[in-house]
Structure 1
Amino acid sequence: MPVSLDGLVLAPVADQAPGQVGTRTRFTYHEKDGEIWADYAGGDVVRGHLVGTREGDRLDFRYVQLKRDGSTSSGHCVSTVVELPDGRVRLEETWEWESQPGNGTSVVEQVTRHDG
Structure 2
Amino acid sequence: MNETTQLNLDGRRFAMVSSTASRVDPDAPTRFDYREEDGVIWGGYEGDTVLHGRFVGVRRQDEIELSYVHLTRDGDSPVAGRSTSRIEPLPDGRLRLVEEFTFDGDDTPQVSVCEELPA
State the TM-score, normalizing by the size of structure 1: 0.86
Tell me the residue number matched to 1:54: 59
Q: Name stretches of at least 5 consecutive residues in structure 1 with no aligned partner.
A: none
1:12-36 CA distance string (max 9 Å, x none): 1125544x87551110000000100
In structure 2, the residue matched to 1:8 is 12
Give the ranges of 4+ consecutive aligned residues of structure 1 lying more than 4 Å apart after TM superposition: 20-23
- Indicate which of 24, 32, 43 corresponds to 1:38: 43
> 1: CA distance between counterparts of 2:34 and 2:12?
5
Q: Distance in 2 between matches of 1:77 and 1:103?
A: 9
* 1:67-115 CA distance string (max 9 Å, x none): 11223110000001111110001011110111445431111100125xx
Counterparts of 1:1-116 in structure 2 under 5 Å?
1-2=3-4, 3=6, 4-18=8-22, 23=26, 24-69=29-74, 70-100=76-106, 102-113=108-119
Q: Flag the 1:21–1:103 CA change in 2: closer, same or farther, 3 A.
A: farther
Asked if the contact 2:102–2:110 (Cα under 8 Å) also holds between the matched residues in 1, the reply is yes
Number of residue pairs matched? 112
The two structures, once aligned, show a CA RMSD in angstroms of 1.9
| Mapped partners of 2:105, 2:51: distance in 1 | 18
Which of structures 1 and 2 has the larger relative contact order (alpha carbons within 8 angstroms, sep 6+)?
A: 2
Which runs of 5 or more structure 2 residues have no equivalent in the other structure? none
Q: Which amino acid aligns with 2:113?
A: V
Aligned equivalents of 1:15, 1:61: Cα separation in 2: 17
Contact kept? 1:26, 1:41, Cα under 8 Å: yes
